[in-house]
Amino acid sequence: MSGDLVVFDDVRKSFGEFVAVKQMNLTIGQGEFVAIMGPSGCGKTTTLRMLAGLEAPSTGEIRLDGRVMNDVKPHERDTPMVWQSLALFPFLSARENVEFGLRMRGVDKATRTSRAMDWLDRMGIAEFADRNVATLSGGQRQRVALARALVMEPQILLLDEPLSALDAHLVIRMQAVLTQLQRELGITFVYVTHSQSEAFAMADRVVIMSQGEIAQIGTPKEIYRAPANRFVAEFVGRNNILSGTVTAAEAGQARIATPSGTFTVHGTLTQGQRASFAVSADLVHVHSERPEAENTLGCRLLSEEFVGSVVTLFLESEDGHEFKVQMQERQLSQFDLKGGEALWLDWQAAHAHILDDG
Amino acid sequence: MTRNTKPDFYALSWRLPIIIWQALFFLGPIVFMIAMSFFLVKNYRMTEAFEFVNWGRMMTRGYFWDSYWHTIWIASLSTLCGMLIAFPVAYTLAFRASENTRRMAIFLLIIPFFTSYLVRTFSWFVILSESGVLNAMLGWVGLGPYTMLNTTFGTLVGYMTLTLPLVVILQTLAMANIDRSLVEAAHNLGCKPLQTIWRVILPLAKTGMIVAAVFCFILSFGDFVAPFYLGGSQDPTLPILIIDTTKSGQQWPRAAVVAIMMMLTLFAVAFAGIALAYRKRAMS
């Protein structure tokens, strides 16, 4: 990574009364794969569209490679985008779609055809070059859309939920294609998605947005293991979140009294303050007898969700709080579960992650 | 699956009214008109016959062909003007106006159809005549007066009165359904806003645009009112020729020949339009 490519400096975007993006400050490095993730309406697509010039920031400044972009028209930018709908031109063949941008730049016919064919070849769809895009499969159309953007040889590629219309097995394959392309080309990818698996599988850094604000920025692992706040903890993965009052605090350790019980966490807290912590569902263990451990809790099994080799158990504590536990299917088979039985949970204090917003 | 070959009388009873209507008011008159083109007129009275006299006479007369090509020319000119005048309006309604404004505008464009076309045509006299409103206004800036009635310009004004609201509506509908992300994708790939109209919007709206043009041509081609009242029936168009032929010596069979030629032309234009609109790209 050599320097900042994109800078959002106090950017705010409102549509009439509705504020889509509030005071955003974000820096994206050269050659970085950044995923912007959040629920619908969180402002992630608006952020991307501002980068492409399709929306203008209400206040603040967006800089691309040091240049202030606020008043640069979309067609004067070099920020090709891959749309959720792909937005391929139905009246053009696959090759003509890829040539479109070059044609607008006044590249001569022979050059643009050879460059378009190079890209179609690289994407493995050269044989469909003269086919109407409507006759191609979802995966092939996806590759045409990528080729159409990348043939422009941009510094940055914008992707707006490009895989959301594909079948699950194609999504995995396209993820591999995208990550490989990004590494080979060394350009910046900004990838907007609501899918955690897509963001975590591909991105160097993930930006989590909520209601127009950045909730957390970090590597996938940081966000997964150390969610900054309640929103991220709830949005990302299967986290168990408990809130309560700090009853004892000493060097690097604290006891938090929650309605479900009193638990030990690592971290600096002061006695009497409100605090919340999250424990990832895969770091909680299940026992049929009460174990000797730092943090234990008695629960009743409600239901289980079985997806391949991983099983999620849904349990309820005495005060009615729901807990989630993830484990391998083969680990589960040692218990003979029918539902409704009493079980014991335990987790290490080190795995309880304190949330910033109490 | 075997299909039930017995006639479904219930379904037929719903279709029957439209079939009868078509037979009585469309198919019947056409068959009669075709038959009539072979009739003879003796002593100002039409008599049943099967002679090619009328066809032979009309097809070899210079005045018929002059009128025929003139009508095609002026209807084409009307189509060109109508499409060009309507486009900026339709473009604005489709891409710049809000949903509510667009709905209101389309409603307002339907209103002219509630008033008689003849009445609307006559109102142009007040505006276009030598002492009319337009010449008075031009007079203030030291221009004119210009002769606008009884000219080709007058005819075109009449054609626009007839066709423009419909052409604007059809063009608006053709463009309003365009996926906005395609227009944005064009901008994103470096296409300038005006270029986008030619490169993306027109290819996407092609079918609707051709339908609008075909309607404009058909309405202008068959219109009697505009060329007669505003064009002063100089260089008679085919509808005027039909009226003249029936008036002069009760030549209904010859008028039928003109009418059939008009219908054939309109069918040809409509089919050419459809073929162009739905022409598929070569797929390999």
How many CB pairs below 8 A link A and B?
67
Chain A hits for B200, Cβ within 8 Å: 89
User: Rounded to whole angstroms, how far apart are CA atoms B265 and B270?
Assistant: 9
Strand partners, A34: A190, A205
For an interface test with B, give the residue of A54, A88, A146 to mutate (most B CBs within 10 A): A54
List chain B domain ranges.
63-277
Tell me the percentage of chain A whose pLDDT exceeds 90.
Answer: 61
**Confidence band for B1, pLDDT divided at 50, 70 and 90:** very low
Chain A hits for B182, Cβ within 8 Å: 87, 89
A120 and A126 in contact (C-beta within 8 Å)? yes
pLDDT at A333: 78
Q: Which CATH class is domain B63-277?
A: mainly alpha
Give the residue on A whose Cα is nearest the Cα of B202: A91
Task: Give residue-wise pLDDT tens across range A308-336.
Answer: 788 888 999 888 888 999 988 888 877 77
| Per-residue tokens: B259 | 């009418």
Closest among B122, B118, B30, B89 to B212, alpha carbons compared: B89
Q: How far apart are the first and last CA of chain A?
A: 35
User: Rounded to whole angstroms, how far apart are CA atoms B4 and B2?
Assistant: 7
**Confidence band for B5, pLDDT divided at 50, 70 and 90:** low
Q: Which residues of chain A have pLDDT under 50?
A: 1
Closest among B18, B208, B14 to B94, alpha carbons compared: B208
The answer to whether residue B3 scores a pLDDT higher than 80 is no
Give the residue on A whose Cα is nearest the Cα of B203: A91
Mean pLDDT within B11-18: 86
Q: How far is A76 from chain B (nearest CA, A)?
A: 6
List the A81-82 sheet strands across, edge first. A81-82, A156-160, A188-193, A33-37, A205-210, A213-218
Q: How far is B172 from chain A (nearest CA, A)?
A: 20
Q: How far is A104 from chain B (nearest CA, A)?
A: 6
| Per-residue tokens: B201 | 């919007």
Q: What does DSSP say about strands A205-210 and A33-37: parallel, antiparallel, or unpaired? A: parallel
Q: What does DSSP say about strands B45-47 and B40-42: parallel, antiparallel, or unpaired? A: antiparallel
Name A95's Cβ contacts closer than 8 Å, sequence gap at least 6: A113, A116, A117, A120, A129, A130
Q: Under an 8 Å CB criterion, which residues of B touch A?
A: 179, 181-182, 184-193, 195, 199-200, 203-204, 206, 281, 283-284
Contact B188 A54 (CB under 8 A): yes
Chain A hits for B195, Cβ within 8 Å: 104
H or E element that contains B47: strand B45-47
Burial tier of A40 (Cβ tally within 10 Å: 0-12, 13-18, 19+): exposed
Chain A hits for B205, Cβ within 8 Å: none
Name A144's Cβ contacts closer than 8 Å, sequence gap at least 6: A86, A88, A94, A97, A98, A120, A123, A125, A133, A136
Long-range residue pairs from B190-195, CB within 8 A, at least 24 positions apart, any chain: B190/A75, B190/A76, B190/A101, B190/A104, B190/A105, B190/A152, B191/A75, B191/A100, B191/A104, B192/A75, B192/A104, B193/A75, B195/A104
Task: Give residue-wise pLDDT tens across range B254-263.
Answer: 999 999 999 9
Asked whether the bond before B145 is cis by omega within 30 degrees of 0, the reply is: yes
Tell me the percentage of chain B whose pLDDT exceeds 70.
Answer: 96
Give the residue on B whose Cα is nearest the Cα of A129: B284
Q: How far is B282 from chain A (nearest CA, A)?
A: 8
Q: Which of A80, A87, A148 sits opposite B181 (nearest CB)?
A: A87
Beta strands in chain A (DSSP E): 4-15, 18-29, 33-37, 59-64, 67-68, 81-82, 156-160, 188-193, 205-210, 213-218, 239-250, 253-258, 261-266, 274-280, 285-287, 295-307, 310-317, 322-328, 342-347, 353-354
Q: Which of B182, B190, B206 sits opposite A104 (nearest CB)?
A: B190
Taking only Cα atoms into account, the Rg of chain A, rounded to an integer number of angstroms, comes to 24
User: Rounded to whole angstroms, how far apart are CA atoms B148 and B134?
Assistant: 10
Q: For all residues of chain B together, what is the average pLDDT?
A: 90
A254 and A248 in contact (C-beta within 8 Å)? yes
Q: How far is A192 from chain B (nearest CA, A)?
A: 16
- DSSP secondary structure of A186-247: --EEEEEES-HHHHHHH-SEEEEEETTEEEEEE-HHHHHHS-SSHHHHHHSSSEEEEEEEEE
Contact B188 A105 (CB under 8 A): no
Q: For all residues of chain A together, what is the average pLDDT?
A: 91
Q: Which of B192, B199, B284 sits opposite A131 (nearest CB)?
A: B284
pLDDT at A304: 84
Q: Which of A80, A91, A93 sits opposite B189 (nearest CB)?
A: A80
The answer to whether residue B6 scores a pLDDT higher than 90 is no
Contact B182 A89 (CB under 8 A): yes
Give the residue on B whose Cα is nearest the Cα of A55: B184
For an interface test with A, give the residue of B177, B180, B183, B189 to mutate (most A CBs within 10 A): B189
Chain B hits for A131, Cβ within 8 Å: 283-284
Task: Give residue-wise pLDDT tens across range B125-183.
Answer: 889 988 888 888 988 988 878 888 888 899 999 999 999 999 999 999 999 989 999 99
pLDDT at A208: 95
Chain B hits for A90, Cβ within 8 Å: 204
For A127, half-sphere exposure in the C-beta direction (CA atoms, 13 angstrom radius) is: 2
Give the residue on A whose Cα is nearest the Cα of B281: A132
pLDDT at B148: 85
Mean pLDDT within B245-258: 88
Contact B188 A104 (CB under 8 A): no
Task: Give residue-wise pLDDT tens across range B178-235.
Answer: 999 999 999 999 999 999 999 999 999 999 999 999 999 999 999 999 999 998 877 8
For A336, half-sphere exposure in the C-beta direction (CA atoms, 13 angstrom radius) is: 0
B213 and B273 in contact (C-beta within 8 Å)? yes
Chain B hits for A87, Cβ within 8 Å: 179, 181-182, 184-185
Q: How far is B76 from chain A (nearest CA, A)?
A: 27
Give the residue on B whose Cα is nearest the Cα of A151: B189
Q: How far is A108 from chain B (nearest CA, A)?
A: 15
User: Rounded to whole angstroms, how far apart are CA atoms B220 and B158?
Assistant: 9
